[in-house]
Structure 1
Amino acid sequence: MTPQTESPTAEPLPDRRADVLLVANAYPSDQALYRNAFIHRRVLAYLDAGIDVEVFYLHPPVAQPYDYVFDGVRVTVGGAADYAARIAGTRYRRILVHFASEDMIRPVVDLAPDTPLVVWVHGFEAEAWHRRWFNFLDSSGQIREALAKRETYHADQLELMGWLLSTDEIDVQVVHVSEWFRRHVVEPDVGRATRRPHVIPNVVDGHLFPYRPKTDEDRTRVLSIRPYASHKYANDQTVAAIVALSERPYFDRLSFTVRGEGPLFAETVAPLHAFENVDVEEGFLRQEEIAELHATHGVFLAPTRFDSQGVSMGEAMSSGLVPVTSDIAAIPEFVGHRESGLLAPPERPSALADHVESLYYNPELFHRLSAGAARRVRAQCGPEATVGREIELIGTGE
């Protein structure tokens, strides 16, 4: 990216130094509860801290901008021209960017180059094309599509992210959600070190997901709540682990609750309909509904193929569920094996089943890991360790 440092606006911009703009590529709504919900939790915390923050959902297909309110937060949805007009017409004290793109960054560089930026790096926007190999396995067409994007979207996007990480031409600070993701994915893939790095995980709210001591019986109640929009979430491994457990003598003493939403749901969970002790239901869940399920379960089965953190897993840990997950990507940065959860080798559903079995036969281990999970996530991902640090970074403008 080659920034233009001279603003084309002729008139001085109105000064709103107490205001902050947050721009994102998606935002939750009543129709899409999971869509970047981790950004919404930040906004609520910023508002509680007295930060006057506006939300702009940059959605290029939108021809006419419109507003909606979600959970008390007013959100503007608009295209690139609407976003540029807002940047040109308002002098913000700071602009917060989630899932940075050329459309988000260019108007700031051209129209408000003196406005400080904070850019969060969450995942795909700073990854080389091959990182999500697991999504290319269904057909040769998917592979061809990925290879085509390698020289178009991915090359341009990584060039933009490399510039943001390393530039001193604008005032920009970069927040990574895990140290593993920064060191092993982002910086190697963009080929640049981060000049002003911060490592701040996504927040896990212990008030929304309170810890309740578990009973012995809770270790037999296994919960899975996952999106079904990508093979990244390894829901096929969850299904395979349950099928493996079905061949063990204690299986009918276990119960499983499987919830999720996405185009892969029906096909993935089809084998589970054969079991009476597996409750499968497709659909969105509100945070309060998730917390209610947490209260009645003791084990959170959440394998993965690629995670920069694992927020839903952290929420379950906050409620005292023992995570049974994969020893891959950033997961070990947030789960200590046999300290706050159980880690299975990647692509090993039988090992996931073995971990569920170990909790079934060892109530003492279950209770120790349940308490350890709740302690670990509060110390590492609680509000003080996450949005509290972000609020310091943003400042209240007072």
Structure 2
Amino acid sequence: MKVLVLAQAYPTGKNPYQMMYVHARVLEYIRQSVGVTVMSFSCKESYDFEGVNVIPESYCDISQYDRVVSHAPNIRNHLRYLVANRKQLNRVTFFFHGHEALIKSRYYPGEYNNPKSTFNSVFKQGLDYGYDLTKLLLLRAFIRVFSSKVNLVFVSEWMKKHFELNVGEIPPSVDSVVIPNSANAIFIQGAWDSSSEKKYDFVSIRPLSGRKYAVDVICQLALDNPEKSFLLYGKGDYFDCHTQPVNVEWNNGFLQPSEIPRVLDSASAALMPTRLDAQGVMMCEMASYGIPLITSELDVCHEVLQGFEEVYFIDNDKPVLPVLTQSPQVVKNNVYSPVSLAKRELDFIAGG
């Protein structure tokens, strides 16, 4: 089976983080002997990234592929390209990860430093709302018109439910399935060192821009618990207008996946509050690694973390640190294994 993967962007040497969840899948497909080419709408020339062939749209002949996979489809590129090449298209599998199937203004809690009362902000919100309505109408039309060539993958039941609330009910002729994003293999193969001396009580790896990542909840917990120590990794502008608690050590930078286990081993628990997630891959990776995990009291968090031990849930509006188990035993759960999830995806992509 030859598979063409469509992505708005793809990791490069200069920006290895963008759409890494797509790259992780592609690597596993290749390991399972599937021929994969990635078409990135953002690239102008072909390049190789960690053994993956990435090409621009101008180099692509869709008729050469048995199946097409479209991650986070947008109307500007994905749907335009698929409609233009509809006669050569065998079958396309859409992967829905979040905002591409939502009216964002109804879900996303906004920015910390963005006064919504300004004219420019209100005008932009209006444009975004208009775009979201248009994208959902066109997405629904595409799925219905090309139902014999389309199937759908959702990263959670929450995502599927809200897809249907925003886009519309899935036609009976269209196959759909829930398959979550996998964890990086390093979190499956390794395990949190529960016996090592801990420098911090809690560790958080969160962007510091956007209220959805709930850094304010972390800081509130730090202020309410001055005897506890908190380590926060992430870039953003939150502390440009908020005071950094003295018991929060902030590292203004990114972590490579290979560095994260060492950071997790330095803490007694991971603190990962959120206001919105379609899955929350990082918290799933932390739970897979075995570190005690605190996250938010949201339906999606309960869904994706069911079956994991040492997981605690807090109220974002009135956060209180839970009482953690003393000397917790690490019990591994490999539900997010990239090997097994990639096989499920490939079986679904090949079907039909």
Which TM-score band (shorter chain)? 0.7 to 0.9
For 2:28, the aligned partner's letter is: A
Counterpart check, 1:388 vs 2:343: yes
Give the 5 Å matches for 1:192-211: 192-193=169-170, 195-209=174-188, 210-211=190-191
Given the alignment, which residue of 73, 81, 90 partners 1:100? 73
CA distance in structure 2 between the aligned counterparts of 1:186 and 1:393, rounded to whole angstroms = 19
Q: Shift of the alpha carbon at 1:107?
A: 2.5
Q: Shift of the alpha carbon at 1:238?
A: 1.2
Counterpart check, 1:52 vs 2:31: no
Q: Shift of the alpha carbon at 1:291?
A: 2.3
Give the 5 Å matches for 1:24-43: 24-43=7-26
CA contact (8 A) 1:336 1:342 kept: no
* Cα pair distance change 1:159/1:87, threshold 3 Å: farther
* Cα pair distance change 1:115/1:270, threshold 3 Å: farther
CA contact (8 A) 1:136 1:146 kept: no
* Cα pair distance change 1:271/1:219, threshold 3 Å: closer
CA contact (8 A) 2:180 2:279 kept: yes
Q: Shift of the alpha carbon at 1:215?
A: 2.4
Given the alignment, which residue of 167, 181, 184 partners 1:190? 167
Counterpart check, 1:344 vs 2:317: no
Q: Shift of the alpha carbon at 1:347?
A: 2.7
Given the alignment, which residue of 190, 213, 218 partners 1:238? 218
Compute the RMSD of aligned alpha carbons. Answer: 2.7
Q: Shift of the alpha carbon at 1:229?
A: 3.9
Counterpart check, 1:23 vs 2:6: yes
3-state secondary structure, aligned to 1:53: strand
CA contact (8 A) 2:197 2:266 kept: no
- 1:150 aligns to what? 129
Counterpart check, 1:261 vs 2:235: yes
Q: Shift of the alpha carbon at 1:136?
A: 6.0
CA contact (8 A) 1:136 1:143 kept: no
CA distance in structure 2 between the aligned counterparts of 1:384 and 1:29, rounded to whole angstroms = 24
CA distance in structure 1 between the aligned counterparts of 2:11 and 2:175, rounded to whole angstroms = 29
CA distance in structure 2 between the aligned counterparts of 1:28 and 1:227, rounded to whole angstroms = 19
CA distance in structure 2 between the aligned counterparts of 1:226 and 1:69, rounded to whole angstroms = 29
Q: Shift of the alpha carbon at 1:24?
A: 0.8
TM-score scaled to structure 1, two decimals? 0.78
Q: Shift of the alpha carbon at 1:336?
A: 4.1
Any unmatched runs of 5+ in structure 2? none
* Cα pair distance change 1:297/1:19, threshold 3 Å: same
Q: Shift of the alpha carbon at 1:343?
A: 0.6
Given the alignment, which residue of 319, 326, 334 partners 1:363? 326
Counterpart check, 1:159 vs 2:137: yes
Give the 5 Å matches for 1:308-347: 308-336=278-306, 339-347=309-317
Per-residue CA shift, 1:55-91, capped at 9, x if unaligned?
A: 12212xx6xx123433333333x4xxxx266246x52
3-state secondary structure, aligned to 1:227: coil
CA distance in structure 2 between the aligned counterparts of 1:341 and 1:218, rounded to whole angstroms = 19
Q: Shift of the alpha carbon at 1:106?
A: 2.7
3-state secondary structure, aligned to 1:280: strand
Per-residue CA shift, 1:154-184, capped at 9, x if unaligned?
A: 111111232344444441110000011211x
CA distance in structure 2 between the aligned counterparts of 1:66 and 1:329, rounded to whole angstroms = 42
CA distance in structure 1 between the aligned counterparts of 2:257 and 2:196, rounded to whole angstroms = 25
Any unmatched runs of 5+ in structure 1? 1-17
CA contact (8 A) 1:165 1:174 kept: no
* Cα pair distance change 1:69/1:136, threshold 3 Å: same
CA distance in structure 2 between the aligned counterparts of 1:122 and 1:129, rounded to whole angstroms = 13
- 2:253 aligns to what? 283
For 2:222, the aligned partner's letter is: I
TM-score scaled to structure 2, two decimals? 0.87
Alignment length (residue pairs):
342
* Cα pair distance change 1:219/1:309, threshold 3 Å: farther
Percent of pairs with identical residues: 25
